[in-house]
Structure 1
Amino acid sequence: MVGGKDVNFPEQWGFLHNQVTPFRVETSDGHSLHAWHILPLEVYRQNEAELIDEPSGEVLHIEQRKAFRLLKDDPDALLVLYLHGAAGTLASGHRPQSYRAISAMSPSRIHILAIDYRGFGTNGGTPSESGLLIDALALADFAMSVAGIPPERTVIFSQSLGTAVALALIRTVAARPDPKFYAGLVMVAPFVSVQKLTATYKIAGVIPILSPLARFPALMNWFAGFIDSKWPSIDVLRDFVRHCEESLDSVARYRITIVHARDDWDIPWEHGEELFWAAVATAEHKFQENIEVLADHRELARQQLGSGGWKVEKKYNKGVLWQYIPEHGLHDWTMGHPVVSMAIWKTFLESFD
């Protein structure tokens, strides 16, 4: 339940009848995850009569549903795997609006699969770093093996906590004996690591919780030792970009977008900035200590967008890195804004070339 609403009846969040199919994804360690398949609007319009005749509510066998067949049987269908942030469920806050905004870029092609992690919403279990990665892998394997959508037609969207999960996912899938590489990754409001996040997190954007300790690295390291989940996103991002750049496999490519609003009170936008330039430094085969030198060129690289903030694009042999820093959007509003919808669509278009 979300605010007294049953997540198995998505019409309560403004969706058309049976536009969203609630179902479950099974994980390798025995968890059952609540999920939504969100149908693009034009596909729904073309099949409305048949869709509304089907029963509503959670589906036990999604393979038998019309909406699922419309995804699986369409060779032009595109898929977004949606990994949400730390609070609430897949129906909370601005997420329903975000789903609609994403599909709007191509209402006849872009389907969305979203899950709640273990311990979230109606799911049992306790969230953990390893557990959430298993959950993301379950969604990814469902998309590939059950829905039959190859990674090259799939973009990973993630926000806040979900960005760390997404990075772990793409690195893990790329390191398999039969490696897979997605069309791209779009991250909104990412963080460098849990350790750095605890040092910079602010209450209502005003009171830094641990910033006084940040001046004393030994104390910060001591505190971080008590945090079970490390989520070292910056290291995972570097590893993935390095892997692609050094691989002789032509499919080992990356298309990564970082979007981070400057007025984000929860995760300061500097986290997104540090991640982006760490990826740039890795793609340019620079050592860690050169990132500070690279910083001298950041201002020149920015394409100013007035009150819209700025953007940066960096293209390399095996991939492309995009950064969007809008002036406005806070922590959650941004994911429903056009900057994110455009980023996802641009990622698909770039992957078609």
Structure 2
Amino acid sequence: MSLYNSIVIPLSVISGIWIPATLLCCVPWVQEHGMLYLHNVTFWPGKWLGEPERAGFLKNQVVPFRIPTKDGERLFAWLIAPLGVYSKRAREFIEEKPSETDVEEKLAYKTLRDDPEARLLIYFHGNTATIAQGRRTEEYRVYSSGASDKIFVLTFDYRGFGKSTGKPSEIGLLNDAEAVVDWALTTVGISPDRVVLLGHSLGTAVATGIAHYYANLDSPIEFAGLILCAAFTNSASAFSAYSIGGVVPILAPVKLIPSLQAWFSRRMRDTWRTDQRLAALAKQCEKLQLVLVHAEDDGTMPWDQSEQLFASTLKSATEGVPPLLKVVDLGEVGRQEIWRVGKRSISKLVAKHGDHNTMMKWSPISLAVLESFGLATVTSATPPDL
């Protein structure tokens, strides 16, 4: 009886949970609203979106505006001037009249457009909430702090999030990303070698997808850097790795059975194949600068997802030849592995601490931003050609 209690009953309970959960996650509505996008979970709907000063910014330091997409949606975005730029022309910023319709007349826009040394960080956020979520507004300030007179931040809500129109989907979010990047490259006129794409969680898939899109144009475009924080290989793998509250991995058995994982993968409406897109970028891009960051204590998305991405991307870059890596012990920060040949660099930092969200405000990611822009040189992070 004790053997039955210790084995059969727990298995019955587990199967009674994960089998219905697996079937439920095959429903497109559940995939969209309950797992992948959660765009209706906004946390204080609309809070601070039109009043960024309430999130700690200076008057008119942030320009709220709209970016149209090619399929008719209107995205709500913020262009954030760095503090160093603001401090030099504070009176002009303060005297501007706020408006969402004349972004090209704003001082932040003109400074970004006219300064050949300006850099632009395009931020792709994760699921739920909006660009005005409290911790995200803190992140924007952190990223430009290392070069406060150079790094502007452009962040936006995907369709269906916040004040942006529409309904999220993989094709839709890639159209959103294209509209935002095109606005930066065409309307502002900033060169791609002064643009870094930074994605967190869901945003890693979007950032990778748009980098892949631009790399496959008739005249390919490469960016200064691609930084992916808490990434996942693909949506099916992300679902089966996901834990509720960082504790209950309801779909864990799916990962243990390859045939079940394959069956589950075929039922994903939006596949978000970051693994395949990064592998293609590793072969196509002569100047690829890829940084993967993941925390060991990430209870939402296990860090082995970034391990898998690092391995598959390196395999593609080296055509299966075992790569020579520089390994850097960063103490309590974590462990970094770097591969660099010519102008291509692929690195992975597995942080010991930081969980899924907190690490986004910590120094390693800010340093990765500076390095991607060529504004910092760290000996341990820039090995000679191997």
Would you call these one fold, judging by a TM-score over 0.5? Answer: yes
2:373 is paired with a residue of what secondary structure?
helix
Q: CA deviation at 1:318?
A: 4.1
- Are 2:326 and 1:285 equivalent residues in the alignment? no
Task: Return the TM-score normalized by structure 1.
Answer: 0.91
**Structure 2 counterpart of 1:271:** 305
How far, CA to CA, are the matches of 1:330 and 1:84 in structure 2? 16
Structure 1 match to 2:193: 152
> 1:333 is matched with which residue?
358
Paired residue for 1:9? Answer: 51
Aligned with 1:49 (options 91, 105, 111): 91
TM-score (norm 2): 0.83
User: Quick check: 1:151–1:183 contact (8 Å CA) kept in 2?
Assistant: yes
Structure 1 residue 350: Cα displacement: 7.7
- 5 Å-filtered alignment, 1:222-301, equals 222-244=263-285, 252-286=286-320, 301=326
1:16-74 CA distance string (max 9 Å, x none): 11110000111111110000000000100011101111123x42020011111011011
CA distance in 1, matches of 2:54, 2:43: 10
Indicate yes or no: 2:240 matched with 1:199: yes
Q: Displacement, 1:222?
A: 2.3
Distance 2:90 2:340 in 1: 42
Which residue identity lines up with residue 339 of structure 1 in the other structure? P
Paired AA for residue 13 in structure 1: A
Q: Which letter maps to 1:285? A: E
In 1: Cα distance, 2:302 partner to 2:331 partner: 20
Q: Aligned partner of 2:365: which letter?
A: V
Output the CA distance in 1 between the equivalents of 2:141 and 2:255: 40
Aligned partner of 1:65 among 93, 106, 115: 106
What displacement does 1:276 show? 1.2
1:221 to 254, 262, 286: 262
Counterpart CA distance in 2 for 1:117 and 1:84 is: 9
Which AA in structure 2 matches 1:262? E
Match of 1:249 in 2: none
Q: How far apart, CA to CA, are the structure 1 residues paired with 2:213 and 2:161?
A: 23
CA RMSD between the two structures: 1.9
User: How many aligned residue pairs are there?
Assistant: 336
Q: Which runs of 5 or more residues in structure 2 are unaligned?
A: 1-41
- AA at the equivalent of 1:71: L
Q: Which amino acid aligns with 1:157?
A: L
String of CA shifts for 1:131-176, please: whole Å, max 9, x gaps.
0000000010000111111101111111000101111101110111
Amino acid in the other structure paired with 2:304: E
Most deviating of 1-10 and 78-87: 1-10
- The answer to whether the 8 Å contact 1:80/1:111 transfers is yes
Q: How far did 1:339 drift?
A: 0.5
Q: Is the CA contact (8 Å cut-off) linking 1:198 and 1:209 kept in structure 2? A: no
Q: Hey, what does 1:248 align to over in structure 2?
A: none
Larger Rg: 2
| Aligned residue identity for 1:21 | V
1:220, distance to aligned residue in structure 2 (A): 2.3
Contact residue 262 and residue 269 of structure 1 kept, 8 A: yes
